[in-house]
Amino acid sequence: MMQQHHVTLPLPVLKLAQWHQGGAARVQFVEELGRAAREYGFFYLTDHGIPAAQIEQVMTLSQQFFQLPAAQKQQVAMVNSPHFRGYSTIGSELTNGRSDQREQFDYMQEEKALDPAAMTTHWHHLIGPNQWPSALPSMRDTLLTWQQQLSSISMELLEAFALALEQAPTAFHRSIGEQPYTHTKLIRYPQRPSNNNQGVGAHKDPGYLTLVLQDEQSGLEVQHQGEWLSVVPLPGAFVVNIGELLELASDGYLQATYHRVVSPNNAQERYSIAFFMAAQLAAEVPYLALPAHLKRLAQGPSSDPNNPLFRQVGQNVFKGRLRSHPDVAQRFYSELLKNAG
Ligand X SMILES: O=C(O)CCC(=O)C(=O)O
Query: What SS3 class is residue 95?
Result: strand
Is 205 a residue that touches Fe ion (CB under 5 A)?
A: yes
Site string for ligand X, 4-43 (x = CB under 6 A): ----------------------------------------
Closest contact distance (angstroms) between CB of 210 and Fe ion is: 6
Which partner in Fe ion, ligand X, none is near 18 (CB below 5 to 8 A by kind)?
Answer: none
- Cross-strand pairs, 304: 307
Residues 196-255 that bind ligand X (CB under 6 A): 200, 205, 212, 214, 220
Choose the binding region for Fe ion from 11-19, 111-119, 121-129, 203-211 (rule: CB under 5 A).
203-211
Is 221 a residue that touches Fe ion (CB under 5 A)?
A: no
185, 188, 319, 325: which one binds ligand X (CB under 6 A): 185
Is 215 a residue that touches Fe ion (CB under 5 A)?
A: no
Q: Which residue is nearest to Fe ion (CB)?
A: 205
Is 187 a residue that touches ligand X (CB under 6 A)?
A: yes
Measured distance CA(184)–CA(176) in Å, rounded: 17
Q: Which residue is nearest to ligand X (CB)?
A: 272
Measured distance CA(301)–CA(247) in Å, rounded: 6
Is 162 a residue that touches ligand X (CB under 6 A)?
A: no
Distance of CA 173 to the CA centre of its chain: 19
What is the Cα Rg of the chain in Å?
Answer: 19
- Under 8 Å CB-to-CB from 282, ≥6 apart: which residues? 313, 314
Q: How many CA atoms lie within 13 A of 187 on its CB side?
A: 25
Which partner in ligand X, Fe ion, none is near 212 (CB below 5 to 8 A by kind)?
Answer: ligand X
33, 55, 261, 285: which one binds ligand X (CB under 6 A): 261
Closest contact distance (angstroms) between CB of 187 and Fe ion is: 10
Which partner in Fe ion, ligand X, none is near 187 (CB below 5 to 8 A by kind)?
Answer: ligand X
| Sheet strands side by side (includes 227-230) | 198-203, 259-262, 220-224, 227-230
In which element (H, E) is residue 244 found?
helix 244-249
Let me know: does 84 contact 333? Beta carbons within 8 Å: no
Q: How many CA atoms lie within 13 A of 96 on its CB side?
A: 11
Chain residues in the site for ligand X (CB under 6 A)? 185, 187, 200, 205, 212, 214, 220, 259, 261, 272, 274
Task: Tell me which residues touch Fe ion (CB under 5 A).
Answer: 205
